[in-house]
Chain A
Amino acid sequence: MSTSTKQLADLSATTLLRFATAGSVDDGKSTLVGRLLHDSKSVLTDQLEAVEAASLKRGQEAPDLALLTDGLRAEREQGITIDVAYRYFATARRRFILADTPGHVQYTRNMVTGASTADLAVVLVDARNGVIEQTRRHAAVAALLRVPHVVLAVNKMDLVAYEEKVFAAIAEEFTAYASELGVPEITAIPISALAGDNVVEPSANMDWYGGPTVLEHLETVPVSHDLTSCHARLPVQYVIRPQTAELPDYRGYAGQIAAGTFRVGEPVTVLPSGRTSTIAGIDLLGESVDVAWTPQSVTLLLNDDIDISRGDLIVPSGDAPPTTQDVEATVCHVADQPLTVGQRVLLKHTTRTVKAIVKEIPSRLTLDDLSQHPEPGQLVANDIGQVLVRTAEPLALDSYAHSRRTGSFLLIDPADGTTLAAGMAGESFATHKTLTAVADEEGWDF
């Protein structure tokens, strides 16, 4: 095998990892992202030249790597990151999609956006400051969104003399806090993004650390979950009916498998109608297969001609979620206009959009200390709270704890189409605590 052919084989063998970064302003997030991109050779000459030229024009001597990631005019002018941006880089082992999310307190919604599709979140901490409020907020969002893997990157180890005990204390405090919130896997790594310690190359300054570098961990962390413990779900997106002379009777139910596996011959139930059939065939984009699994986009063929349309959910018979018109959920409010009790909204769940009304907002969560504020009346931008929503039609809704894909939904303003809130059905750590009335800094002063 020639070198180039071998490289091609390596490139095609890779899997994809989606991850998000979170960190406060000045924790060195841009530097870490810059170093990951730079050291994995994902920054190309013309991009670096553009950054160097722009930095020079601003009177900066060294190239400002933040200019590499701040894509909007307003971001460059203000020197802050406003919005989530997606970055792409690759190593021989894996390809990465990085959701680069701003760290400002007021941008909780951006971290929620980034975390919603992430398999892993990197939470950055400044070794000199340790676990601060913002760190707890990031851990809470990662836990709430059920990001499967969390990396605690203790940065700026060079400024604390690379001392093991500094790292150990922070790692212990964070792990205890995040575990209590239900984060399933936490990996703590001492780094210096600026000096390059343990980001891509192992550090010569911290021989007491025996774990992986950030990149090594990103390359080897498992990407998919235990498929057999997942309830199989196929939201029907589109019914494929060629109605041609050769295929007059073909009816295929197209969709992306949201969870689990489907097999030919398996008995299935269609929700919310409850009609049943068996799988006659599975078409995997032109190839006939016996078994298919998440997140493959497929077309299912059934043995019976039953009424199925977009918005229906196909599930294995005997493993159906309950259908309900009363949705209890945790939501993160992502719009500038508030969400209020009594408000009429649209609820988009998988491929189904239904009318709904906000019946109750039992509590609002303060991420800093996880305290609950009862009956806030409304949620505003970046608030996280409990809601009870009544829908006009029954929904086959899983708990978000069981399925990120079929337990999540959007609340949409029917008037202008604005996405109001990101919803997660069922219980979360935010519902476990008993409600305690805490003085609200925004004026509960009675």
Chain B
Amino acid sequence: MTSAATVTEGVDSPYALSHLDALESEAVHIFREVAGEFERPVILFSGGKDSIVMLHLALKAFAPAAVPFSLLHVDTGHNFPEVLAYRDRVVAEHGLRLHVASVQEYIDAGKLRERPDGVRNPLQTLPLTEAIQQHRFDAVFGGGRRDEEKARAKERVFSLRDEFSQWDPRRQRPELWQLYNGRHAPGEHVRVFPLSNWTELDVWQYIAREDIDLPGIYFAHEREVFKRSGMWLTAGEWGGPKGSESVETRLVRYRTVGDMSCTGAVDSDATTLDAVITEIAASRLTERGATRADDKMSEAAMEDRKREGYF
């Protein structure tokens, strides 16, 4: 093995890490940096695949000890029941502590008003930022990936937020080598994105490699859906169908898991991880382009929401 290491390493070198190993190692490094530098970190956990992968990486990073972070879920009140059940199962299995910030409670208390279009994703920002302040979290892990969206492509791995949780993309710290600067004043916090360099395909390949359990809605199943703004939305008490919209039963799956009011299902017969990966690799649509209504509102929708404190 020593002699092998003296030759210049090529693509097939035994010392070259596969791309998944390299991404995993980098993400674990980020988790450990936060554990070493911050007092009160928290992982944003939605029960979606990216946050599930984040939790899996955190479990590996600190094994055989417990994950030194709690979880925070912003519950829109329109979440998929399968995902909430998954969330509670995972929390119990690993003995984790879960904080829930509830959009419904904010609406009931009159602090937030339901939008005319019924989309609740943008309403998550206030409960999220208030929960961060209330619990005095100083590092908040998000599953955001730079490949998702062009404003996210500009996001740092360690991203400072001011006392109003705002993001100012023009005043970001340069990110040099693997030296992450987590300095912050009281009241400020740092958003941390360990999956920054992962793509949707990487996430799925990693889930397959590590055999990670997912909520069933990621795989093809029959579901009652209706069409709104070109997307298949789940029919339900949250607000659909309305007027001329009509329900039909289709074989679908979800590429992202968000609020039912703005997350669309895709037609699919992929019932296994391999089938999902093959489908993603062949897809000509991005994850968000295919299934998220809130990003279609304007050219800068994500940047504008992120500036306000959205993850």
Contacts and interface: CB of A to CB of B under 8 A. Distances in A.
A295 B26 contact: yes
Interface string A97-109: 1000000000001
Interface in A204-251: 219-220, 222-228, 237-238, 240-244, 247, 250
Interface in B170-215: 170, 172-179, 181, 183-185, 196-197, 199, 201-202, 205, 209
Contact of A12 (B209, B283, B285): B209
13 contacts: A14-B18, A70-B150, A85-B146, A86-B146, A86-B153, A86-B196, A87-B153, A237-B29, A240-B64, A240-B65, A283-B63, A285-B63, A417-B184
B13 interface: yes
Interface string B4-28: 0111111101011111111111101
Given A47-B289, A85-B154, A285-B61, A419 B9 contact: no
Contacts of B116: none
Q: Nearest 10 CB-CB pairs, A to B?
A: A417-B183, A46-B289, A71-B150, A242-B65, A297-B28, A16-B19, A224-B9, A237-B32, A256-B29, A227-B5
B271 to A, nearest CB: 14
B25 A334 contact: no
Nearest to A46: B289
Interface residues of A, number: 89
A283 to B, nearest CB: 8
Nearest to A4: B278
A336 to B, nearest CB: 9
B60 interface: yes
Interface residues of B, number: 79
Contacts of B19: 14-16, 94-95
B151 interface: yes
A418 B169 contact: no
A85 B153 contact: yes
B286 interface: yes
Contacts of A293: 15
A326 interface: no
Contacts of B109: none
Interface in B214-255: none
A290 B281 CA distance: 36
A416 B185 contact: yes
Contact of A11 (B13, B197, B201): B201
A46 to B, nearest CB: 3
Interface in B264-311: 274, 277-278, 281, 283-286, 289-290, 299-300, 303-304
B18 A112 contact: no
B11 A72 contact: no
A244 B63 CA distance: 12
Contacts of B175: 113
A15 B5 CA distance: 17
A416 B17 CA distance: 38
Contacts of B174: 84, 109-110, 112-113, 334, 419, 422
A304 to B, nearest CB: 20
A68 B150 CA distance: 8
Given A15-B11, A256-B26, 20 more contacts: A13-B18, A71-B303, A72-B154, A83-B169, A86-B196, A93-B11, A109-B174, A220-B10, A223-B11, A224-B13, A224-B15, A228-B5, A254-B32, A261-B5, A297-B25, A297-B29, A405-B178, A408-B176, A412-B181, A422-B177
Contact of A238 (B32, B60, B176): B32
Contacts of B170: 72, 74, 82-83
B114 interface: no
B11 A240 contact: no
B151 A72 contact: yes
B277 A15 contact: no
B164 interface: no
Nearest to B64: A242
B286 A44 contact: yes
B180 to A, nearest CB: 9
B18 A297 contact: no
